[in-house]
Amino acid sequence: MENIIPLVSPVLTIIGWSIAYRLAKVNSTRTESKSLIEGCNSIIEKLAEDGASFFLKEESSNEEKKSFESLVFNKLTLLHNKFEYLQKRGIELPLDNISNFHIALTNSIPQHGNSELRNEKCVNDIYRNASSIILLLQMKFHDKYPPIDSLMSLKKLF
């Protein structure tokens, strides 16, 4: 029995440090994922605002249409890259939502300015798709990192 007592303290210390390391790793991954999601949300909101202002204008030149389409493509590429980082952190997101958002933003560019009703429909589609992506991001984050209610809920992290 006397031979075991000197080993108890180091073993408990190693166990404590491994638990602290695991919690710190989960917390840093959670923080990084939350930051990526906030970045995605800001890109989506900015694209939705830009899309709405583009389609609510009376007329646009071909140069403005090309410029807007290029902006959408670049921002959606950045958004797709952030989604890939989130997938590496365990937050799986269906990419068809980005496709629907892209279609809502760019499908009616050639007909822009022909019908006020069509432009309002485009704006509604843009905001509907943007809000569905933002909601999905928040739900997936909450599923992956649920709030810690009690000490027993920590076992979900291991």
> Which residue, chain included where needed, has tokens 């432009």?
119
Query: What is the reported pTM?
Result: 0.80
Residue-wise burial string across 21-58, b where 16 or more C-beta atoms lie within 10 A, e elsewhere:
eeeeeeeebeeebeebbeebeebbeebbebbbebbeee
Q: How far apart are CA 15 and CA 107, in angstroms?
A: 57
8 exposure class (CB count in 10 Å sphere: 0-12, 13-18, 19+): exposed
Q: How confident is the model over 119-138, as pLDDT tens digits?
A: 788 889 999 999 999 999 99
Domain boundaries, the chain: 5-157
**Going by CATH, does the domain composed of 5-157 fall within 1.10.10?**
no
Q: How far apart are CA 155 and CA 158, in angstroms?
A: 5
The answer to whether residues 102 and 70 touch, using CB atoms and an 8 Å cutoff, is no
Q: Can you state the angle between helices 5-56 and 116-144, rounded to 10 degrees?
A: 180
pLDDT tens for 24-81 read 888 888 899 999 999 999 999 999 999 999 888 877 788 888 898 999 999 999 999 9
Residue 153 CA to residue 9 CA, distance in Å, equals 27
146 CB-near residues (< 8 Å, 6+ apart)? 153, 156
pLDDT above 70 for 112: no
